[in-house]
């Protein structure tokens, strides 16, 4: 029997400062991973060549069944519509990379990086084995992804599974990077948690250990909340409430089997999960009583796992 040489998948996660590349087998076992810097000069025109050369240094494309890419911006029909961080606009990435490869048969796919992270958790992370999953990534902003029957929901403008800009705060307390006010990411991201805490500190005279710090992070608010600081507890409760409200809208739209919470804020673990669950059930009861909600497990590698997931046979 002739050995089929094409037994590797490659996942590429293109970020604004570095590009993560991973080689996987078909079962999703990571064989090798590394980073290269993102060269943003001249509207990022060398990025794809850099990726190609970097992969060639480590493996032969003869072994590769498919290559998946995640990019920091909306994607529709294999086109990266707008990646401000890379200088890309309407980048026909799949077409362009195929030209560099000059291989008509290579499977090449492209998705938004947060959607990739969701697919990655399905491939080898907390959502392994599930086909209908919604993920919220709580970092500096709020990203997300939705997988329906194992397929990324991309949407007509690449905005499928983009929950960070759902308006949840109808008092419109804080401006968002998108130009609107009241978006989920202004209140439930790491930045949002600090927003809520600073608001409570300035608008009330309530006592809090947070007053001992001129500046503080979301992690500080979590740490103090866990130690019983009531103002910090109220901040986390409010952030969790907004998130649960956005989750309830998705629960009653696509009805996923599982929600995955990722990003730096999810390091708060069970403490955060319990707060989210309390509020979530208040929004979806009596329709949903046993929703699975878990913390992501792949961290920053979720993107390369998900990019590879898209091209597995
Ligand atoms: Zn926004």
Structural contact between residues 119 and 309, judged by C-beta atoms closer than 8 angstroms: yes
What pLDDT does 3 receive?
53
Starting at the edge strand that comes first in sequence, how are the strands of the sheet with 79-83 ordered? 75-76, 79-83, 88-91
Please state, in angstroms and as integers, the Cα–Cα distance from residue 174 to each residue in 170, 181, 193, 231, following that order. 10, 6, 11, 19
Convert the pLDDT of each residue in 116-138 to its tens digit.
999 999 999 999 999 999 999 99
Q: Are residues 165 and 208 in the same domain?
A: yes
- Cα 61 to ligand 1 centroid, rounded to whole Å: 40
- Which stretches of 85-225 are assigned E, i.e. beta strand? 88-91, 107-112, 133-138, 142-148, 151-152
Tell me if 55 sits within 8 A of 31, measured CB to CB.
no
Residue 4: pLDDT band with limits 50, 70, 90 = low
The pLDDT assigned to 1 comes to 45
97, two tokens: 């990379």
Instruction: For residue 163, report the distance from its CA to the centre of ligand 1, in Å.
Output: 9
Angstrom distance (rounded) from CA 311 to CA 106? 10
- Smallest CA-to-CA distance from 126 within 301, 296, 302 is with 296
Distance between CA atoms of 73 and 107, rounded to whole angstroms? 21
Shared domain for 142 and 288, answered yes or no, is yes
State pLDDT tens for residues 15-33.
999 999 999 999 999 999 9
**171/275 same-domain check:** yes
Distance 51 CA to ligand 1 centre (A): 31
Residue 274 has pLDDT above 70, yes or no: yes
Spacing, Cα 207 to ligand 1 middle (Å): 31
Structural domain contains residue 22: yes
75, 218: one domain: no
Cα 79 to Cα 90: distance, rounded to the nearest angstrom = 6
* Cα 209 to middle of ligand 1, angstroms: 30
Q: How far is the CA of 205 from the centre of ligand 1 (A)?
A: 30
State how far the Cα of 194 lies from the Cα of 198, in Å rounded to an integer: 6
**If you average pLDDT over every residue of the chain, what do you get?**
95
Are the C-beta atoms of 247 and 259 separated by less than 8 Å?
A: yes
Is the full-model pTM beyond 0.85? yes
Ligand 1 centroid – CA 82 distance (Å): 16
Structural domain contains residue 75 = yes
Residue 3 counted as domain residue: no
Rounded to whole angstroms, the Cα distance separating 216 from 287 reads: 39
Q: What percentage of the chain's residues is helix, strand, coil (to nearest 5)?
A: 40, 25, 35
Q: Give the integer Cα–Cα distance in Å for 287 and 270.
A: 24
Q: Are residue 12 and residue 134 in the same domain, yes or no?
A: no
Does any domain span residue 19?
yes
HEC string of 4-41 equals: CCCCEEEEEEECCCEEEEEEECCCCCEEEEEEEECCCH
pLDDT tens digits, residue range 159-191?
999 999 999 999 999 999 999 999 999 999 999
Residue 243 lies in a domain: yes
- Stated length of the chain: 313
Count of the separate structural domains present in the chain? 2
C-alpha 59 – ligand 1 centre gap (Å) = 41
Is residue 240 classed as helix, strand or coil in its secondary structure? helix
Residues 173 and 63 grouped into a single domain: no
* Distance in Å, CA 177 to ligand 1 centroid: 6
d(CA 187, CA 190): 8
Counting residues of the chain whose pLDDT is more than 90, the rounded percentage is 94
Residues 221 and 243 in one domain: yes
- The residue written with tokens 């961290």 in the block is 299
Residue 2 lies in a domain: no
CA–CA separation, 204 and 76 (whole Å): 46
pLDDT of residue 5: 81
CATH number at residue 92: 3.30.420.40
Tens digits of per-residue pLDDT, 104-120? Answer: 999 999 999 999 999 99
Tell me, in angstroms, the distance from the centre of ligand 1 to residue 270's CA. 27
How many other β-carbons are positioned within 10 Å of the β-carbon of residue 235?
29
**Domain carrying residue 27:** 8-122+301-309
Q: Looking at the structure, tell me whether residues 92 and 152 fall in a common domain.
A: no
Are 10 and 33 in contact by the 8 Å Cβ rule? The answer is no
């Amino acid at each position: 029997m002739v050995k089929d040489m094409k037994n590797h998948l490659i996942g590429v996660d293109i970020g604004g400062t570095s590009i993560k590349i991973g080689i996987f087998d078909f079962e999703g076992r990571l064989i090798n991973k590394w980073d290269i810097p993102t060269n943003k000069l001249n509207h990022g025109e060398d990025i794809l060549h850099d990726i190609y050369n970097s992969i060639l240094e480590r493996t032969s494309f003869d072994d590769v069944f498919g290559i998946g890419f995640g990019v920091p911006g909306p994607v529709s029909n294999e086109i990266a519509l707008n990646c401000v961080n890379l200088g890309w606009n309407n980048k026909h990435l799949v077409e362009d990379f195929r030209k560099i490869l000059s291989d008509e048969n290579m499977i090449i796919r492209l998705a938004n990086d947060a959607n990739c992270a969701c697919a990655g958790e399905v491939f080898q992370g907390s959502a392994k084995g599930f086909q209908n999953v919604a993920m919220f990534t709580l970092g500096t902003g709020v990203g997300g992804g939705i997988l329906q029957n194992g397929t990324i929901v991309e949407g007509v403008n690449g905005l499928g599974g983009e929950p960070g800009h759902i308006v949840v705060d109808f008092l419109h307390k804080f401006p968002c990077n998108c130009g609107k006010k009241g978006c989920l990411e202004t209140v439930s991201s790491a930045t949002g948690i600090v927003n809520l805490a600073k608001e409570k500190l300035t608008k009330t005279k309530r006592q809090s250990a947070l007053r001992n710090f001129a500046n503080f992070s979301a992690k500080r608010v979590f740490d103090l909340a866990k130690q019983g600081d009531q103002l910090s507890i109220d901040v986390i409760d409010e952030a969790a409430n907004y998130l649960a409200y956005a989750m309830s809208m998705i629960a009653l739209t696509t009805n996923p089997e599982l929600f995955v919470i990722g990003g730096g804020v999810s390091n708060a673990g069970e403490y955060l999960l319990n707060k989210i669950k309390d509020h979530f059930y208040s929004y979806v009861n009596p329709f949903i009583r046993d929703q699975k909600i878990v913390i992501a497990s792949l961290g920053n590698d979720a993107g390369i796992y998900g990019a590879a997931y898209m091209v597995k046979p």
